[in-house]
Each structure stands twice: as C-alpha cells, then as structure tokens.
Amino acid sequence: MNFEIDMAIELIDQTASEDLEACQSAVRSGDKEAALACLGRAISKLGAALDSLRDIPRSAQDLGLPSGF
C-alpha cells in the first residue's frame, strides 16, 4: 500500500514541478497551444494519481467516536 501512495505523491510532485510550471511559462510567453497542452498533461497525471489513491484498499478507522457517527 505504501508503494501506491509513494507513486501517487511522486506523480503529483512531478506534475507540479514540470507540467504546471511549463504551462505557466507558456501562458507568460503567450503560447496558448503549449499552455493548453501542458495543462492537459497535468490534468491527466493528476487524474491518474487520484485514481491510484482511490484504488488503495481501506480498512475501518477507529476515530474514537461514539457509535452511530
């Protein structure tokens, strides 16, 4: 399970440091096509990371709340 979380974190970090920064640079330079391409890649990678996190099996957590919550 930790492997899946680590991979999702790496994908999110990579997206933030590469794709979104490239998108920001493209916007600043006025290159709309490049900005949209970078944004599309970022959205796809973030979706993949989210799917990975959703696929991780979860167990019930004891939060110390009374029954019925």
Q: What DSSP string runs through the chain?
A: -HHHHHHHHHHHHHIIIIIHHHHHHHHHHT-HHHHHHHHHHHHHHHHHHHHHHHTS-------SPPTT-
- Does 25 fall in a domain? yes
Residue 38 located in a structural domain: yes
Amino acid 69: pLDDT = 56
What pLDDT, on the 0 to 100 scale, is given for residue 1? 59
- Give pLDDT, residue 62: 66
Higher pLDDT, 56 or 67: 56
What's the number of domains the chain is made of?
A: 1
Quote the domain boundaries for residue 14.
2-54
* pLDDT tens digit sequence for 8-60: 899 899 888 899 999 999 999 999 999 999 999 999 999 999 998 888 887 77
15 torsion bin: left (phi>0), alpha (psi -120 to 50), beta (else):
alpha
Q: Could you tell me the pTM of the whole model? A: 0.71
